[in-house]
Amino acid sequence: MTNIIELKDAERYYEMGENIVKALDGVDISVCKGDFIAIMGPSGSGKSTSMNLTGSLDLATKGEIYLDGENIAGMEESELAQIRGKKIGFIFQQFNLISNLTAKENVMLPMIFQNEDEEEREERAEKLLEAVDLGDRMEHYPNQLSGGQQQRVAIARALANKPEVILADEPTGNLDTKTGDKMMDFLTDLNKKGRTIIMVTHDPELAKKYANKIYSLRDGKIEYIHKKISNKWIKKQVS
């Protein structure tokens, strides 16, 4: 099966004064169409950096990142942003909604950068908000919405450009249990309909309940890869 996203021996360094910190140290991650992948690890393990590289939000210091088979290292930022905007939808832990835009305007925003006309943007945003049960909250601003409602606006916005891949950062982290369960049901349903899901989490129970493949990181390296085969988890030690 062809990889949609692939990291090959990816490393990411950060300069901290005179010191160089290795946030990622030689990581290989493969994402195929229809996967539900979890990138898991404790704080400081490198999972957030992995998310940024997997979502093409950042470039590797060393190694290669492929998006639909094309190495993104040589792309201009404008070209990469355009491809990323079509290919990947992001659901951020802090929602990242624009406070002075309504729910509908927040969902419409990503479509502007893909040059969709205004009528199409408005119609699609309304359909997406209705799909997440926010048809009666379209003209509300983020501060007029509950945390769960803001999360659903973030989901609708992530789907605005009909991406193949949804990248969710700690999708239940800011939600109560009931709302978090609804969030995961929604991601599962998207996956069943053919969308590829990449979930970043510190929670092993959440990862094993929903994912079919888990990359477990520690100290910037992949420690284990878990694969679900015939409802059984197979664990492979990497480092």
Strands (E), the chain: 3-16, 19-32, 36-40, 62-67, 70-71, 88-91, 165-169, 196-201, 213-218, 221-229, 232-237
Q: Which is the CATH superfamily of the domain at 34-56+76-237?
A: P-loop containing nucleotide triphosphate hydrolases (3.40.50.300)
First CA to last CA across the chain, in angstroms? 25
- Going by pLDDT thresholds of 50, 70 and 90, the confidence category of residue 75 is confident
- Going by pLDDT thresholds of 50, 70 and 90, the confidence category of residue 1 is low
Instruction: Please compute the mean of the pLDDT values over residues 210-233 and round it to a whole number.
Output: 94
Q: Specify whether the CB–CB gap between 156 and 140 falls below 8 A.
A: no
Q: Specify whether the CB–CB gap between 40 and 47 falls below 8 A.
A: yes
Query: What does residue 114 show for φ and ψ, rounded to 5 degrees?
Result: -105, 10
Instruction: Please compute the mean of the pLDDT values over residues 80-89 and round it to a whole number.
Output: 88
Is residue 239's pLDDT more than 70?
no
Q: Specify whether the CB–CB gap between 199 and 210 falls below 8 A.
A: yes
Token pair for 213: 């493949």
Which of 150, 112, 110, 113 has its CA nearest to residue 129? Answer: 150
- Give the chain's mean pLDDT: 91
pLDDT in tens, 115-153: 889 999 999 999 999 988 899 999 999 999 998 899 889
Query: What does residue 237 show for φ and ψ, rounded to 5 degrees?
Result: -80, 135
Distance from the Cα of residue 41 to its chain's centroid:
16
Report which secondary-structure segment, H or E, holds 82. helix 77-87
Which of 89, 51, 110 has its CA nearest to residue 166? Answer: 89
pLDDT value for 74: 81
Helix (H/G/I), strand (E/B), else coil: 58:
coil
Total-model pTM: 0.90
Distance from the Cα of residue 212 to its chain's centroid:
16
Half-sphere exposure of 194 (CA within 13 A, CB side): 3
Q: Domain ranges in the chain?
A: 34-56+76-237
